[in-house]
């Protein structure tokens, strides 16, 4: 499941067909908007994103299962906020200083983080890594002093490497199991049996990748020509903008 | 085969950034606090790549996260994380990669100096992360230390040992011009 979280899922949904720049801009807009949203607006936005993920081929339940560790982290955020914020006591237990205000604040910040995580998931699930790389480069180009081509290539490689590492880990685990080597919970044993071979393998993969990139003349100045945005892209951008604005208004009201 | 050193470092730095992201997704449930392996790979990157490319690796990781890609702990992402309560640790990774790399470059592969470099880097992560946490959540200093530093120290000691083992094992593969057709060389450790 962990492998699925980062990888592109081919498909033909309207989201797959959108220009990646539009999706990246939408993600940034959602990320900024999320900081100002209230409870009702957050709930609306979260359900909308879950529906969109379902449209892109990811049912809500498996999305939440894939994000289980993240949800655990968010639960910790909620608990720590509830316990540390002063206010009206939530439970009539004297040693458990949970407050209602703290719970509200915690739920709010956890919801905001989850919103951005779902939006990011939507982007990686529906966009090819190569297109994503090009879009990051396009985004960084106006910023001075940043080697935008290199940075974009590295982001593209990062996105591509994650599923490679996870699938190699799965292969290694199967190889160990086939040789009747039990999976150990002791950290050092795990490191020597699984971690070291995995890392050596990934580094060899990186080496082969370097050779392949060199053989394909990476480094020669390549410029990607962007087609101008179509009606569909502008419409989507306008729709996202309107939604963000509506959610902001709802939160203010 | 002579590979361009810059391209090689660029690919390796991307790989380390990916490992940092994977390290945030794998949660090792030992003891009361789940251990996340992100800072392990920050240290490994610093020892293997040196300060410049290790900071590049962490910077790319942060950039990917800031764009909203799900690379932060547990599969999160977005600016909300970068400037959220745990943001100080994320910026601490950048500083730690630079500092550890800087010391390690001067260590000449002497293990005890590399350990010093990693201890300094780990402490730098907390030096940025704990005050940030304290300020964001409005805790007092003792409470911030108890929540944001002390439970992780035993895990960090383990991670430093693990990082040394990893670096020992992987470094022979990184000698310049390892032709892809060569079988991987066995190393001690």
Tell me what pLDDT residue B180 has.
Answer: 45
Tell me what pLDDT residue B189 has.
Answer: 41
Instruction: Test A123 with B180 for CB contact under 8 angstroms.
Output: no
| Greatest Cα-to-Cα distance within chain A, rounded to the nearest angstrom | 69
Note whether B63 contacts A: Cβ–Cβ < 8 A. Answer: yes
Q: Is the ipTM, as predicted for this complex, more than 0.85? A: no
Q: Is the pLDDT of residue A165 over 90?
A: no
| Average pLDDT score, chain B | 81
Q: Is the pLDDT of residue A183 over 90?
A: no
Residue B149 to residue B126: CA distance in whole angstroms: 7
| Average pLDDT score, chain A | 80
Structure tokens at B45: 């990157």
Number of residues that make up chain A: 253
Of A3-17, A98-112, B127-141, the range with the lowest mean pLDDT is: A3-17
Mean pLDDT of all residues in B119-131: 91
Note whether A209 contacts B: Cβ–Cβ < 8 A. Answer: yes
Q: Is the pLDDT of residue A14 over 70?
A: yes
Whether B177 maps to a domain, the answer reads no
Tell me what pLDDT residue A187 has.
Answer: 62
Tell me what pLDDT residue A2 has.
Answer: 46
Instruction: Test A213 with B84 for CB contact under 8 angstroms.
Output: no
Structure tokens at A48: 């909308």
Structure tokens at B99: 């500092």
Instruction: Test B74 with A112 for CB contact under 8 angstroms.
Output: no
Residues of A (138-167) whose Cβ lies below 8 Å from B: 139, 150-151, 153-155, 157-159, 161-162, 164-166
Whether B181 maps to a domain, the answer reads no
Mean pLDDT of all residues in A186-200: 77
Of A46-60, A124-138, B38-52, B63-77, the range with the lowest mean pLDDT is: B63-77
Confidence of residue A5 (pLDDT cuts 50, 70, 90): low
Tell me what pLDDT residue B72 has.
Answer: 78
Q: What is the DSSP letter of A61?
A: H
Residue B189 to residue B186: CA distance in whole angstroms: 9
What's the domain range around B118? 5-172
Note whether A195 contacts B: Cβ–Cβ < 8 A. Answer: yes
Mean pLDDT of all residues in B2-10: 74
Find out whether B33 and B39 touch, Cβ atoms under 8 Å: no
Tell me what pLDDT residue A1 has.
Answer: 40
Pick A204's closest partner by Cβ from B75, B138, B184: B184
Whether B183 maps to a domain, the answer reads no
Note whether B12 contacts A: Cβ–Cβ < 8 A. Answer: yes
Q: How many CA atoms lie within 13 A of A127 on its CB side?
A: 25
Whether B141 maps to a domain, the answer reads yes
Q: Is the pLDDT of residue B102 over 90?
A: yes
Mean pLDDT of all residues in B130-140: 81
- Cα-based angle B37, B63, A111 (whole degrees, multiple of 5): 75
Q: Is the pLDDT of residue B23 over 80?
A: yes
Residue A136 to residue A111: CA distance in whole angstroms: 26
| Among A41, A43, A22, residue whose Cα is nearest residue A33 | A41
Cross-strand bridge partners of residue A99: A89
Q: What are the backbone angles phi and psi of residue B113, rounded to the nearest 5°?
A: -70, -35
Instruction: Test A165 with B73 for CB contact under 8 angstroms.
Output: no
Q: 10 Å Cβ neighbour count for A216?
A: 9
Confidence of residue A188 (pLDDT cuts 50, 70, 90): low
- Cα-based angle B70, A46, A5 (whole degrees, multiple of 5): 25
Whether B23 maps to a domain, the answer reads yes
CATH number of the domain within which B83 lies:
1.10.1760.20
Determine if the pTM surpasses 0.80.
no
Q: Is the pLDDT of residue A203 over 70?
A: yes
Mean pLDDT of all residues in A166-176: 85
Tell me what pLDDT residue B182 has.
Answer: 46
Tens digit of each residue's pLDDT (9 = 90 or more) over B151-179: 888 888 988 988 998 888 888 887 654 44
Tokens 């540390």 label which residue?
Answer: A84
Whether B188 maps to a domain, the answer reads no
Residue B145 to residue A188: CA distance in whole angstroms: 27
Confidence of residue B181 (pLDDT cuts 50, 70, 90): very low
- Show residues of chain B in contact with A78, CB under 8 Å: none
Instruction: Test B84 with A113 for CB contact under 8 angstroms.
Output: yes
Residue A232 to residue B37: CA distance in whole angstroms: 42
Whether B55 maps to a domain, the answer reads yes
Q: What are the backbone angles phi and psi of residue A11, rounded to the nearest 5°?
A: -175, 180
Tell me what pLDDT residue A60 has.
Answer: 84
Rounded percentage of chain A residues whose pLDDT exceeds 70: 88
Q: Is the pLDDT of residue B41 over 80?
A: yes
B84 versus A156: the higher-pLDDT residue is A156
Q: Residue B127: helix, strand or coil by DSSP?
A: helix
Q: How far is B70 from chain A (nearest CA, A)?
A: 6
Confidence of residue B70 (pLDDT cuts 50, 70, 90): confident
Tell me what pLDDT residue A73 has.
Answer: 77
Whether B178 maps to a domain, the answer reads no
Number of domains in chain B: 1
Find out whether A177 and B161 touch, Cβ atoms under 8 Å: no
Q: How far is B146 from chain A (nearest CA, A)?
A: 13
Q: Is the pLDDT of residue B97 over 90?
A: yes
Alpha-helix residue ranges (DSSP H) falling in chain B:
5-25, 38-66, 79-82, 87-107, 111-137, 141-148, 153-170
Residue B11 to residue B57: CA distance in whole angstroms: 10
Instruction: Test A210 with B174 for CB contact under 8 angstroms.
Output: no
Q: Is the pLDDT of residue B78 over 60?
A: yes
- Show residues of chain A in contact with B63, CB under 8 Å: 136, 151, 155
């Amino acid at each position: 499941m962990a492998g699925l979280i980062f990888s592109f899922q081919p498909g033909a949904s309207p989201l797959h067909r959108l220009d990646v720049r539009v999706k990246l801009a939408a993600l940034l807009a959602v990320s900024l908007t999320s900081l100002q949203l209230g409870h009702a607006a957050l709930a609306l936005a979260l359900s909308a994103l879950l529906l969109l993920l379902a449209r892109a081929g990811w049912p809500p339940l498996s999305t939440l299962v894939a994000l289980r560790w993240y949800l655990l982290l968010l639960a910790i955020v909620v608990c720590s906020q509830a316990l540390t914020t002063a206010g009206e006591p939530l439970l009539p237990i004297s040693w458990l200083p949970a407050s209602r205000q703290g719970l509200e604040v915690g739920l709010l910040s956890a919801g905001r983080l989850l919103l951005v995580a779902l939006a990011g998931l939507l982007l990686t699930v529906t966009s090819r890594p190569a297109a994503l790389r090009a879009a990051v480069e396009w985004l960084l180009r106006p910023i001075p002093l940043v080697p935008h081509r290199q940075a974009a290539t590295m982001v593209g490689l990062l996105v591509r490497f994650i599923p490679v590492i996870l699938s190699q880990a799965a292969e290694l685990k199967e190889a160990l199991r086939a040789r009747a080597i039990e999976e150990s919970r002791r950290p050092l044993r795990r490191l020597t049996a699984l971690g070291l071979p995995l890392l050596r393998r990934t580094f060899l993969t990186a080496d082969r990748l370097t050779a392949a990139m060199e053989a394909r003349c990476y480094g020669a100045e390549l410029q990607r020509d962007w087609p101008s945005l179509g009606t569909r892209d502008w419409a989507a951008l306008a729709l996202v903008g309107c939604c963000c604005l509506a959610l902001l208004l709802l939160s203010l009201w | 085969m002579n590979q361009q050193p810059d391209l090689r470092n660029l690919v390796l730095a991307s790989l380390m950034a990916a490992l940092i992201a994977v390290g945030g997704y794998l949660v090792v449930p030992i003891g009361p606090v789940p251990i996340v392996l992100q800072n392990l790979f920050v240290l490994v990157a610093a020892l293997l790549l040196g300060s410049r490319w290790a900071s590049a690796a962490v910077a790319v990781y942060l950039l990917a996260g800031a764009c909203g890609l799900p690379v932060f702990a547990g599969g999160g992402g977005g600016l909300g994380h970068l400037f959220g309560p745990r943001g100080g640790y994320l910026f601490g990774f950048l500083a730690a990669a630079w500092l550890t790399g800087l010391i390690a470059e001067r260590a000449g592969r002497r293990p005890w100096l590399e350990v010093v470099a990693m201890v300094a880097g780990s402490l730098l992560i907390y030096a940025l992360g704990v005050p940030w946490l304290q300020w964001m959540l409005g805790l007092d200093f003792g409470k911030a230390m108890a929540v944001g530093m002390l439970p992780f120290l035993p895990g960090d000691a383990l991670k430093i040992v693990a990082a040394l083992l990893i670096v020992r094992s992987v470094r022979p593969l990184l000698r310049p011009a390892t032709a892809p057709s060569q079988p991987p060389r066995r190393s001690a450790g």
